[in-house]
Each structure stands twice: as C-alpha cells, then as structure tokens.
Structure 1
C-alpha cells in the first residue's frame, strides 16, 4: 500500500492505537475531500483483498 493508503486505513480503523475516525475527520487531517478519502480507502481495501498475503491475514483474523 502507498503511504496515503496506509494512513487512511490507519485513521479509519483506529489502527494507530487511537479511536477510529470518520471520513470527514480524515479529510481534515490529510487535506483531501471526504469523497477522495473514501475512494482511497476502497482502493486500499481492494488491494489488500487481492494480495497474496490476504489469505494469511484472513486466517490470522479469523
């Protein structure tokens, strides 16, 4: 994933140890529109699902 994709997912799901953020919160942090943040999030999730490592991740997460 790109740095921007990682940041968006990190903020959206609260993976940095903090709370999960809304698309609007994230858009304010990264200086993009809510729609662009949503598009980046969806693209990142698609990339993770298609990744060869996704099977390992799925087995880990259950």
Structure 2
C-alpha cells in the first residue's frame, strides 16, 4: 500500500472515530479529494466531480 493511501485511511478512520463523516457519500468524496493528489487518481476524481472526461470539450485548434 502506498504512503498516500495509508495516510488517507488513517485520516478517515480518525474522522469516523470522532463522530464525523457518518455519511458514506461524504467519506467517499473526502477520500477521492485526498487521493486526487495522486496523478493516476486525479483524472478519475475530475470525471466524478464534473461528469465530464478530462479534456472533453477542448478544441484541437485546427
């Protein structure tokens, strides 16, 4: 498991123990936001957040 994933798990676990983030959608949004610092997950995060594929709607300039 990479360091970023481990840090995220620890953060979310602490928030849950403190009575925060009881809602599944809120936990998922937090995790995705946290992990969006990883380049591989960033594009997935943008797709989920905007509902559009990264780069969609951009013209090629031709």
TM-score under structure 1 length normalisation: 0.32
Larger Cα Rg: Structure 1 or Structure 2?
2
TM-score under structure 2 length normalisation: 0.32
